Amino acid sequence: MAIWTIVGVGKGGRILIDSGISTDLTEAFEILNVEKSEDVASKGGVGPDDINSSILASDSTPSLVVDVGGEPKPSANLSDSIRLSGSKGEDNAFLGSSLESRTPKNRATTGIRNGATQASEAAVEAALAYLANHQKNDGSWTLRFDDVPCQGQCSHGGANKLDSHDVAATGLALLCFMGAGHTMHVGEYSEQVSRGVYFLIQKLRIQSGRGTWLSSTASAEMYEHGIATLALCEALQMTGDESLAESCQAAIRQIIYAQHNDGGWDYHPKAPGDLSIVGWQVMALKSAVSAKLDVPTDTIRGIDLFVRRENVGGFMFRYRAGKGTPSMTAIGNLMRVLRGVSKTDAMLIRAVDYLADKGPSDHDAYYNYYATQVLFHYGGKPWDKWNKAMREFLIATQEQYGHSAGSWWHPGDPHNLTAGRLYVTAMACLTLEVYYRYLPVYEASDMEFKL
């Protein structure tokens, strides 16, 4: 039976006709892959669950958007709506946008209240020192460790000479520093942040109002773009430095332009969406909205549509046209949380219980990063259960000696091999900064928003 769902309000709104049918195919993970999924699949794949993304259009949830005149009628069942109300009911708003908890004045008290310990904070500080020691002379960071400044002293450099992913690496490192309250103007690492931000701005090429990074690697174009844009927008949001505004808006315009008509993003502009890549674009747009940059309502509505399409099995989310997976389930539910889903939503409760019972991975830094955020925002016993295991695992596995001190390396995940030690370190550091990077949305919000 078809579900009719309103995704617009007021005159000239739109109605989504959704069959509610979903598929359950195999899936393939990818994190900063050096090859696009279509290419990998054509070469025989990288694992037992490989899939050609070209089947997405035919195998994804069928839907139809119809323009209608006049005032649309309210949905008969709002729990089926893809329109997730944001702050104060605004279509283009996100929850959890405040960065005040990161400031030097607030970081310590907020961290301890939300589950940090002296040991976890010491691990963050060691990670920041490691990252500072691995910044290149031009202000960038790289995923490849056979070059300056590391000169091969670290193992597991990951990226090859042609795919060093300097734009993504720089964005990830900057997010770690800013997550702990360091900006271009404040903090022990203000010089490192300034140089990193300068590198991104200098490498951004603006044409027709849209900005793209010249040094981004084509095989991971929108991954790099989303990560770097998020870093720049957070710098603008944290400092209010108007000199960043033009570059941030140009990079955001590229994200808006690159969105596929299914509401998602892929490695390259205008290609059918990939939930993993969508996550970075959404976080960048969220920061842009908070920084008072222009983000069209239709772009955000498209995200809601895409997230709805990628839902399988009630609370699970899929990678491309595959089956539900833990990582995609964490990303999909985080998108719903940030767009204002109620804490009492049955689908969210099932997802939280699933993630808490599954617990942190001993090798998948990407899953840990996103699942940590979902459970942190939700809070309560599921968060306490997850946090203790996650926090103690990361503290115990951080390198303590030698040139690699402060870093992490978790074998067992093929994407760690591709992206390398700096990527794993950044994701682990960001995971341990969760206590103060954002406020828990269900604590910070004065009200709950119903689907």
Residue 263: which pLDDT band, with cuts at 50, 70 and 90?
very high
Percent of the chain with pLDDT over 90: 65
Domains, the chain, ranges and CATH?
99-444 (1.50.10.20)
Decide if pLDDT at 40 tops 80. no
Query: How far is it, in rounded angstroms, from Cα 434 to Cα 124?
Result: 11
Query: How far is it, in rounded angstroms, from Cα 130 to Cα 135?
Result: 9
Tell me which of 72-86, 199-213, 216-230, 303-317 is least confident: 72-86
Which residue, 76, 95, 57, is CA-closest to 448?
95
Residue 417 pLDDT: 82
Decide if pLDDT at 46 tops 50. no
Higher pLDDT among residues 427 and 46, named by residue: 427
Decide if pLDDT at 49 tops 90. no
Which residues contact residue 382 at a Cβ distance below 8 angstroms, ignoring those fewer than 6 apart?
A: 352, 353, 355, 356, 375
Residue 6 pLDDT: 31
CB 95 within 8 A of CB 86: yes
Mean pLDDT of 305-331: 94
Query: How far is it, in rounded angstroms, from Cα 41 to Cα 35?
Result: 10
18, amino acid identity? D
pLDDT tens sequence across 156-182: 877 766 578 999 999 999 999 999 999
Residue 161 pLDDT: 62
Query: How far is it, in rounded angstroms, from Cα 371 to Cα 391?
Result: 13
Decide if pLDDT at 22 tops 50. no
Find the helix or strand (DSSP H, E) in which 5 lies: strand 3-6
Residue 250 pLDDT: 98
CB 183 within 8 A of CB 239: yes
Residue 107 φ/ψ, nearest 5 degrees:
-60, -50
User: What does the mean pLDDT of the chain come to?
Assistant: 80
Query: How far is it, in rounded angstroms, from Cα 422 to Cα 142?
Result: 8
Mean pLDDT of 219-227: 93
Query: How far is it, in rounded angstroms, from Cα 167 to Cα 331?
Result: 22
Task: Tell me the pTM.
Answer: 0.80
Tokens of 445: 């919000």
Question: How open is the CA angle 246-247-248, to the nearest 5 degrees?
Answer: 90
pLDDT tens sequence across 280-300: 999 999 999 999 999 999 999
Burial class of residue 311 (count of CB atoms within 10 Å of its CB; 0-12, 13-18, 19+): buried
240, amino acid identity? G
Over its C-alpha atoms, the chain yields an Rg (Å, rounded) of 21
Residue 444: which pLDDT band, with cuts at 50, 70 and 90?
low
Cis peptide before 269 (omega within 30 of 0): no
Within a 10 A sphere around the Cβ of 118, how many other Cβ atoms?
A: 10
Residue 38: which pLDDT band, with cuts at 50, 70 and 90?
very low
CB 266 within 8 A of CB 274: yes
Residue 67 pLDDT: 28
Decide if pLDDT at 451 tops 80. no
Mean pLDDT comparison of 93-102, 374-383, 406-415, highest-scoring range = 374-383
Residue 449: which pLDDT band, with cuts at 50, 70 and 90?
very low
Residue 216 pLDDT: 67
pLDDT tens sequence across 237-262: 999 999 999 999 999 999 999 999 99
Q: Which residues of 45-54 are buried (b: 16+ CB within 10 A; e: fewer)?
A: ebeeebbbbe
Tokens of 329: 């389930």
Residue 11 pLDDT: 31
Decide if pLDDT at 124 tops 80. yes
Residue 146: which pLDDT band, with cuts at 50, 70 and 90?
confident
Residue 443 pLDDT: 84
Decide if pLDDT at 306 tops 70. yes
